[in-house]
């Protein structure tokens, strides 16, 4: 997160110094090329998402499900269909098209730990909620 903030600060400084490049004309792909993106195997990501929290990652996977209600979430699967991870919409990609269902896609995004809702616990006093992980999507393209 600190790296992202630093890169954004530098980009704003360049734009405000009278450069000819208009930031609004810069495509999402060009903006991502400024970030440090880690290539990850989908199975490694699903097996240990906590290792990639707050990192910008790139992976390829099959889309198992596109949320039909809001279009703001997709589920991608690893090499074993039972292993899945959610990809969430963001400001960069607010919704996903239902035509992605069943396609192989390349996703660039940031891994986030999210507190699960309505988690039943064995201990009445426990206030700690387990984390589930999702990828906040920056770009997606069908392969």
Report domain extents, the chain: 1-35, 36-142
pTM: 0.68
pLDDT for position 120: 43
Helix (H) or strand (E) holding 5: helix 2-16
Contact 131, 85 (CB under 8 A): no
According to CATH, what is the number of the domain 36-142?
A: 2.40.50.140
Tens-digit pLDDT string for the chain (143 aa): 556 555 555 656 555 554 444 444 445 555 555 668 999 999 999 999 999 999 999 999 999 999 998 999 999 999 998 999 999 999 999 999 999 999 999 999 999 988 665 444 444 445 555 679 999 999 999 99
Q: Are strands 131-142 and 37-39 parallel, antiparallel or unpaired?
A: unpaired
Cα 36 from chain centroid (whole Å): 14
Find all residues with CB under 8 Å of 136, minimum gap 6, and list them.
88, 90, 109, 110, 111, 112
pLDDT for position 34: 61
């Amino acid at each position: 997160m600190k790296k992202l903030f630093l890169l954004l600060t530098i980009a704003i400084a360049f734009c405000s110094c009278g450069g000819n490049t208009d930031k609004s004309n810069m495509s999402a792909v060009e903006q991502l090329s400024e970030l440090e993106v880690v290539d990850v195997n989908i199975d490694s990501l699903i097996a240990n998402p906590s290792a990639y929290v707050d990192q910008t990652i790139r992976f390829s996977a099959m889309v198992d499900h596109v949320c039909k209600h809001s279009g703001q979430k997709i589920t991608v699967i690893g090499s074993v269909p039972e292993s899945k991870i959610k990809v969430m919409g963001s400001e960069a990609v607010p919704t996903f098209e239902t035509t992605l269902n069943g396609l192989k896609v390349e996703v660039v995004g940031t891994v986030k730990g999210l507190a699960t809702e309505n988690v039943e616990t064995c201990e009445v006093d426990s206030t700690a909620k387990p984390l589930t992980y999702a990828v906040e999507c920056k770009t997606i393209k069908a392969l």
